[in-house]
Amino acid sequence: MAIARFQLVAIDCPDPVALAEFYSVLTGWPLTKPHADYPEWVQLRPEAGATIAFQRVDDYRAPEWPGQDHPQQMHLDLSVPDLDAGEMAVLQVGVVKHAHQPAPDEFRVFLDPAGHPFCLVHERFDPQPS
């Protein structure tokens, strides 16, 4: 029996509203208004499933990937049916394609507006061994 149920993942950033708006464009999930008591916290809440939250961090420093001087703490994988079309779409909303692409036929690495790596993953790709 599970002890707990996964609720959300929180992403540190300098501007939670801006980063939430960016991910809202990618996922189509609606942005919740910041709570009056917690203006440094914003969420994307789909109709079903887990939430992505964004929290303001003073003196935020973006991760340096793939290096380890200031490593990433987490990243998101977003599934797409066509990597080329997905790449064109995310580049149009202002992301940066990372220079290091370990497996560009299966997934592609980009940087969100706060510098977090995220991947567009071809929906047929499964990194788990069979």
Cα 130 from Cα 123, distance rounded (Å): 16
Nearest to 85 by CA among 120, 119, 61: 120
Which residue in the block uniquely carries the two structure tokens 């499964």?
126
What pTM does this model have? 0.76
Please give the single-letter amino acid code of residue 4. A
Residue 102 predicted with pLDDT over 80: yes
- Spell out the domains of the chain, with CATH numbers in brackets: 1-59 (3.10.180.10), 61-130 (3.10.180.10)
Between 114 and 74, name the one with better pLDDT.
Answer: 114
Query: Quick one: pLDDT band at residue 3, thresholds 50, 70, 90?
Result: low
* CA distances from residue 93 to 14, 43, 54, 123, 128 in whole angstroms, order as listed: 19, 19, 19, 21, 30
* Digit-coded pLDDT (tens) for 39-94: 888 999 898 888 898 999 898 888 888 888 887 777 788 889 999 999 999 999 88
